Amino acid sequence: MGRMMVATRGLGEAGSGVAILNPAAAEILQALLDLGGAAHRDLVVAYVARRRGIFRPSDALRRDLDAAFAAYCATSDPRGAGLLHLPYGPGSQRWALTDQAYGLLRDGGHGAG
């Protein structure tokens, strides 16, 4: 989780207007990073649940993660300054890191520009 803290702090310092992450958004970011940058929403929810030690995600967890994703899904443009986006547009169930977020998180906050 140290890499996530460095990288997300770096996003805010870069002047991108990204707010401090809530824990659910940070879990989504970590899950997407671990899953290669993009995955179906249900897979992300299941991954977060498993990391929390939960066998079957509850509806409450699903709603919390949906809300956190929506709050940080500022743009559907993967080249934008946001963290998360819907690569197939509104209504899509595939979640993804933006190109900027993926590069920054993958590199652990080093070498991002």
DSSP 67-100: HHHHHH---S-TTSSSSEE-TT-TT--EEEE-HH
Confidence of residue 17 (pLDDT cuts 50, 70, 90): very low
| Across 33-62, average pLDDT | 97
Burial zone of 58 (CB within 10 Å; 0-12 exposed, 13-18 middle, 19+ buried)? exposed
C-beta neighbour count of 39 within 10 angstroms: 19
Span 2-106: which CATH code? 1.10.10
Q: Which of 10-19, 43-52, 91-100 has the highest mean pLDDT?
A: 43-52
* Residue-level pLDDT at 15: 46
Cut 0.95: pTM above it: no
